[in-house]
């Protein structure tokens, strides 16, 4: 069996034209296709993401989100249908297909032509290492280098403007929101203040802060009430004692009538009438002495009509008061017997008259003194009773306030808690608003995070594709491989005998002799013509290829210089 090298040499010897023609056809066809492909140019701009210039410890920015999020948001805005159609109309893009293709197709084509790529760097801290976006690039592809350059520059400008607008709108939105929230909290504070003031006015004296005052006042009133009760009881006892003395003095008066201690009621009545006539001649009816003598005259006349009844009522009244004094020393004022005795004494006092009517002889100095003391004590008792009633009312009011304090305290503390919480929230929002205004000023002066154009869009001098040299090289390689494949395939499928060895293998006997190829003059001439034709065709192909490269791709001299530099670099 022949070796692969022998097989290849035999195939080359008899079928080399298949290889040459196929390789030339594929190579030339690929070259023509590569030269006919339209060039695509790209213009690229690079934008640097600068961090906030003022330390975040001093001023916090209200623009939330990382730089990648901002880039994505602005990218979606730029790649929106309306923005792309506006750009297409502005720069007259795709003029050859705009009348044929739909707007959606044009928008999709432009979206594919725009590329936004982020540039990251590894940042290490104490705990981990992570990639941080430090820059990004914006590129646009198209067939016209001038248009590509303009569109890339426009897209970059729009990107930077949208970033400034986005950050400005975000800080302004934050400030407006905080101002509105602060206004609501201010109104709420005012409303709660009015509610608390109205509540204090409505529940004056029953608020929690008055608890100690009310308690002290209650104790003071209780002590005052006890002292008034003691004073009233003492005055009643003294009054009973004086009334008993008055009764005794009246009895002694009847036994001492002859001693001239006092006049009889009849004589006293006569004296009062005479004094009254004398005073009326000197004073008016409203004079106090005249009024006193009138009362005395009325009493004497009444006493002279029923002296026994008046004396019996006075004695009964003295006995009841003595018994009342005894019961009060054992029981309190609320005891049923004490209340019954007081009612009986009040009834008898109404029938017997005032203390100054207890005796019939008002001219007796001892009786007058006793009556004056009794009247003073009576007035004192009246004052003490009024004071005691007033103190009781005050004490009831204070006790009522103390009873209401727990309920009022809950409602009042709820209002106070709402007010304090609202005030704390107001202060918090106010602080945030101050920070938001400082952040807004920082954004207005562009001291926050910003996008800086470090590499503007440049005019593309060379297309980025197609890579004609790579396409041609690929076509040449494919042509060579196809030629070799066809050549070897035909050789393997050819059943003819071409060598002595093949003949000996087939017949099993060696040949007797070998006759070489006899070429005539015509054969030699034809062979020479074929060589000339092949050489001429090769020269034409080489010349055409050089011309195509020179006019369609790049100047040949520049290309040779570049190839020489790369070769030297590789060496």
| Domain regions of the chain by residue span | 1-37+466-498, 41-171+447-455, 526-571
User: Please, which pLDDT band fits residue 150 given cuts at 50, 70 and 90?
Assistant: very high
Domain with residues 41-171+447-455, CATH architecture: 2-Layer Sandwich (3.30)
Least confident of 70-84, 149-163, 302-316, 325-339: 302-316
| HSE toward the beta carbon, residue 508, CA cutoff 13 A | 0
Please give the biggest Cα pair distance in the chain: 216
**Confidence at residue 304, expressed as pLDDT on a 0 to 100 scale:** 59
Tokens of 345: 């004494």
Query: pLDDT of 509-545, one tens digit each?
Result: 777 776 666 777 887 888 788 788 878 877 877 787 7
User: At CA 466, angle to CA 462 and CA 470, rounded to 5?
Assistant: 105
Cα–Cα distance measured from residue 213 to residue 221, given in angstroms and rounded to the nearest whole number? 12
pTM over 0.75: no
Neighbours of 57 (CB within 10 A): 6
Cα–Cα distance measured from residue 215 to residue 399, given in angstroms and rounded to the nearest whole number? 8
Cα–Cα distance measured from residue 80 to residue 192, given in angstroms and rounded to the nearest whole number? 50
Q: Across the chain, what does the average pLDDT equal?
A: 76
* Dihedral in degrees, nearest 10, Cα atoms 88, 92, 96, 99: 60
- pLDDT, average across residues 254-260: 39
**Confidence at residue 360, expressed as pLDDT on a 0 to 100 scale:** 39
Cα–Cα distance measured from residue 198 to residue 74, given in angstroms and rounded to the nearest whole number? 55
Q: Given phi > 0 = left and psi -120 to 50 = alpha, else beta, which region is 427? A: alpha
Query: pLDDT of 275-309, one tens digit each?
Result: 778 777 777 777 777 777 777 677 667 655 655 44
Flag whether pLDDT at 140 surpasses 90.
yes
Judge whether 162 and 71 are in contact, CB under 8 Å: no
Q: What's the distance, CA 315 to chain centroid?
A: 89
Least confident of 88-92, 150-154, 272-276: 272-276
Cα–Cα distance measured from residue 66 to residue 30, given in angstroms and rounded to the nearest whole number? 49
Tokens of 82: 């309306």
**Strand-pair partners of 120:** 133
Cα–Cα distance measured from residue 403 to residue 215, given in angstroms and rounded to the nearest whole number? 11
**Long-range contact list for 431-437, CB < 8 A, 24+ apart?**
432/178, 433/175, 433/178, 433/179, 433/182, 435/59, 435/60, 435/62, 436/62, 436/171, 436/174, 436/175, 436/178, 437/175
**Confidence at residue 1, expressed as pLDDT on a 0 to 100 scale:** 46
- pLDDT, average across residues 6-35: 78
Q: What's the distance, CA 97 to chain centroid?
A: 53
**Confidence at residue 362, expressed as pLDDT on a 0 to 100 scale:** 41
Cα–Cα distance measured from residue 412 to residue 209, given in angstroms and rounded to the nearest whole number? 11
Residue 65, H or E segment = none
Three-class DSSP category at 58: coil
% the chain with pLDDT above 90 = 5
Residue 508, H or E segment = none
**Of 265, 229, 195, 234, which Cα lies nearest the Cα of 411?**
195
Omega of the bond prior to 466 within 30 degrees of 0, cis? yes
Q: At what angle do helices 521-548 and 4-36 cross, to 10 degrees?
A: 40
Q: At what angle do helices 145-202 and 81-91 cross, to 10 degrees?
A: 140
Cα–Cα distance measured from residue 535 to residue 529, given in angstroms and rounded to the nearest whole number? 10
Flag whether pLDDT at 486 surpasses 50.
yes
Least confident of 152-156, 342-346, 477-481: 342-346
**Strand-pair partners of 3:** none
Cα–Cα distance measured from residue 277 to residue 56, given in angstroms and rounded to the nearest whole number? 109
Q: Write the CA distances from 326 to 329, 332, 341, integer angstroms.
A: 5, 11, 11
* Dihedral in degrees, nearest 10, Cα atoms 163, 165, 168, 171: -70
């Amino acid at each position: 069996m022949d070796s692969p090298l022998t097989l290849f040499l035999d195939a080359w010897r008899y079928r080399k034209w298949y290889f040459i023609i196929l390789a030339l056809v594929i190579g030339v066809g690929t070259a023509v296709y590569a030269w006919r492909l339209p060039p695509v140019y790209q213009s690229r701009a690079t934008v640097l993401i600068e961090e906030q210039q003022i330390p975040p410890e001093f001023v916090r920015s209200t623009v939330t989100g990382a730089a990648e999020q901002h880039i994505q948001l602005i990218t979606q805005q730029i790649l929106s249908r309306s923005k792309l159609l506006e750009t297409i109309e502005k720069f007259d893009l795709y003029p050859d297909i705009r009348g044929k293709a739909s707007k959606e197709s044009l928008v999709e084509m432009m979206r594919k032509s725009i590329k936004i790529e982020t540039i990251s760097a590894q940042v290490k801290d104490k705990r981990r290492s992570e990639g941080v976006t430090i820059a990004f690039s914006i590129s646009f592809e198209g067939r016209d280098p001038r248009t590509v350059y303009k569109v890339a520059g426009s897209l970059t400008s729009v990107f930077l403007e949208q970033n400034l607008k986005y950050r400005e709108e975000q800080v302004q939105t934050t400030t407006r929101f905080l101002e509105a929230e602060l206004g609501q909290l201010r109104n709420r504070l005012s409303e709660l203040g009015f509610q608390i003031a109205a509540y204090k006015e409505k529940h004056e004296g029953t608020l929690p802060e008055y608890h100690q005052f009310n308690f002290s006042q209650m104790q003071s009133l209780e002590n005052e009430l006890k002292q008034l009760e003691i004073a009233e009881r003492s005055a009643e006892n003294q009054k009973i004692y004086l009334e008993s003395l008055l009764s005794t003095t009246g009895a002694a008066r009847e036994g001492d009538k002859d001693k001239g201690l006092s006049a009889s009621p009849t004589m006293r009545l006569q004296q009062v009438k005479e004094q009254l006539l004398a005073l009326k001649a000197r004073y008016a009816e409203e004079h106090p002495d005249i009024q006193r003598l009138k009362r005395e005259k009325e009493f004497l006349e009444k006493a002279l009509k029923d002296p026994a009844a008046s004396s019996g009522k006075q004695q009964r009244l003295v006995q009841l008061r003595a018994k009342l004094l005894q019961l009060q020393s054992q029981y309190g004022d609320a005891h049923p017997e004490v209340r019954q005795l007081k009612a009986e004494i009040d009834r008898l006092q109404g029938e017997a008259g005032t203390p100054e009517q207890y005796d019939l002889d008002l001219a007796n100095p001892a009786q007058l003194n006793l009556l004056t003391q009794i009247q003073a004590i009576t007035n004192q008792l009246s004052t003490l009773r009024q004071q005691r009633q007033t103190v009781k009312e005050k004490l009831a009011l204070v006790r009522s306030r103390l009873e209401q304090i727990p309920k009022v305290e809950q409602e009042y503390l709820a209002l106070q808690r709402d007010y304090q919480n609202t005030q704390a929230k107001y202060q918090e929002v106010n602080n945030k608003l101050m920070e938001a205004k400082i952040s807004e000023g920082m954004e207005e002066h562009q001291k926050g995070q910003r996008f800086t154009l470090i590499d503007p869009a440049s005019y593309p001098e060379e297309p980025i594709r197609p890579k004609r040299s790579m396409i041609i090289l690929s076509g040449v390689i494919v042509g060579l491989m196809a030629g070799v494949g066809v050549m070897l395939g035909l050789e393997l499928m050819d059943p003819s005998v071409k060598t002595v060895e093949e003949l000996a293998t087939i017949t099993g006997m060696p040949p007797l002799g070998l006759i070489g190829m006899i070429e005539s003059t015509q054969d030699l001439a034809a062979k020479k013509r074929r060589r000339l034709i092949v050489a001429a065709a090769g020269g034409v192909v080489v010349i055409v290829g050089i011309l195509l490269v020179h006019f369609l791709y790049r100047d040949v001299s520049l290309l040779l210089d570049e190839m020489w530099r790369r070769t030297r670099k590789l060496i």
